[in-house]
Amino acid sequence: MKRSVTVVGAGPAGLTLANLIQQSGIDCVVLERASRTHVETRPRAGVLEHRSVTMLESLGLADRLLMEADRHGTCEFRVSGKAFQVSYSDLYGGREHYVYPQQEVVKDLIGGFLDTGGDIRFSVSDVELRDLTSSSPSVAFTSEDGTRETVSSDFVAGCDGFHGVSRPSIPEGVLTEFTHQHGIEWLTILAEAPPSTKATIYALHDDGFAGHMLRSPTISRFYLQVPVGTKAEDWSDEQVWEALHKRFTLHDSSWALTEGKIIEKRVLDMRSHVVEPMSYGRLYLLGDAAHIITPVGAKGMNLAMNDAATFGRALIDFYATGSETGLKTYSEDCLRRVWRAQEFSQWMVNMIHTDVSSPFFGRLAQARLEHLAESPAYRATFAENYVGP
């Protein structure tokens, strides 16, 4: 099989790229390890930045999103039983967050790609990347029916997430890896509970952080900071709700948390990881394959889509004019935004946890939150980073 571009992985990065280049007449195939049902029902992130939505709109893939997504321009911080809100949209040119679950984004992207004649192979296995420094790299895979196939192409887009095969296919010593373990762990909970808030809540409590994120009118995501080494099964559902009630408590309000059936409970790896450069020969890494970030600040899916837009533009330019400029600057262009998001996420991690590394940092967190509550200039900087450039 021959295609111009082979895309490994059908997450937000791979599918955005596939739609973008296919709409410009560049043929590609997407190879995905999981089944279609699995990727279309896998709940993960849920916040899209204005820029990601604009890109989906330009691809004609935002109709359902614009109808169904909730728009958010305010978030709330709770400290020692008192709340304050930051209206980040007002502080940053009216830009808003769109709350729309990642699996719905994936569903729309798959639908759009297939409707325009796209080729996705689901449930493939034993994906192997070869000859990456040649002008015709290839990808071998076993299709769902057990047939071994090979696709050769001009470029391979490694969009297969942090645990995929693309990054490990790059010889040792080529990439510089930057890893930071944030020294905290979060229990992430998805519950069939309508949101108890109109704005995302970040609560700082002596027992640890708690977060209430919005997903849909019937589903909410919660986060609880838990001691490092905790296993999800250490926490019963009752303990989860008890901790959430306690950490979200407000002294001067009748606000109440609505409970629901817990449908997912897992401990999140609160790690940041970035590789440089994001390419090797004709292999380009996109999204989580190149960088992961904590969920603090809701950047992961947006960075993945930004990589896809940047690489897509570079490919479109290459096939239209022969120019390799965009391909050469791809890594540098993406990394600038990746590091800015990492810096913001780290800043926020330090602000919403009481005990990241020592009680000293607990006091710094309080000082930072007080500054945010009091200073319009500080809030404006937060808004710019939070809602996305």
Point out which residues bind ligand RFL (CB under 6 A): 8-14, 31-34, 39, 44-45, 102, 127, 159-161, 164-165, 287-288, 295, 298, 300-301, 304
- Which one from 72, 182, 273, 291 is the annotated catalytic residue? 72
What's the min distance (Å) between Cβ of 99 and ligand RFL? 11
Q: Cβ distance 56 to 65 under 8 Å?
A: yes
Which CB atom, from 130 or from 371, has the smaller least distance to ligand RFL?
130
Which CB atom, from 249 or from 350, has the smaller least distance to ligand RFL?
350
Look up 82 and say whether it is catalytic. Answer: no
Which CB atom, from 39 or from 83, has the smaller least distance to ligand RFL?
39
10 Å CB burial of residue 25 (0-12, 13-18, 19+) is exposed
Rounded to the nearest 10°, the torsion over CA 231, 232, 235, 240 is 140
- Which one from 88, 202, 280, 330 is the annotated catalytic residue? 202
Which CB atom, from 56 or from 165, has the smaller least distance to ligand RFL?
165
Q: Cβ distance 220 to 260 under 8 Å?
A: yes
Q: Which H or E run contains 83?
A: strand 82-86
Distance CA 104, CA 87 (A): 26
Which CB atom, from 31 or from 224, has the smaller least distance to ligand RFL?
31
Look up 299 and say whether it is catalytic. Answer: yes
The answer to whether the Cα torsion of 353, 163, 169, 335 is positive or negative is negative
Distance CA 223, CA 274 (A): 24
Look up 273 and say whether it is catalytic. Answer: no
What's the min distance (Å) between Cβ of 27 and ligand RFL? 19
| Cα 348–Cα 56–Cα 107 angle in degrees, nearest 5 | 90
Which CB atom, from 168 or from 171, has the smaller least distance to ligand RFL?
168
Contacts of 174 (CB under 8 A, 6+ apart): 280
Contacts of 81 (CB under 8 A, 6+ apart): 249, 250, 251, 252
Q: Cβ distance 388 to 300 under 8 Å?
A: no
- Which one from 97, 265, 299, 353 is the annotated catalytic residue? 299
What's the min distance (Å) between Cβ of 290 and ligand RFL? 8
What's the min distance (Å) between Cβ of 254 and ligand RFL? 29
Distance CA 91, CA 381 (A): 9
Q: Cβ distance 257 to 194 under 8 Å?
A: no
Q: Which H or E run contains 115?
A: helix 102-115
Which CB atom, from 44 or from 78, has the smaller least distance to ligand RFL?
44
Look up 359 and say whether it is catalytic. Answer: no
What's the min distance (Å) between Cβ of 39 and ligand RFL? 5
Residue 285 pairs with which residues in a beta bridge? 158
What's the min distance (Å) between Cβ of 193 and ligand RFL? 16
Could you count the other beta carbons within 10 Å of the beta carbon of residue 41? 12
Look up 277 and say whether it is catalytic. Answer: no
What's the min distance (Å) between Cβ of 8 and ligand RFL? 5
Catalytic residues: 72, 202, 295, 299, 386
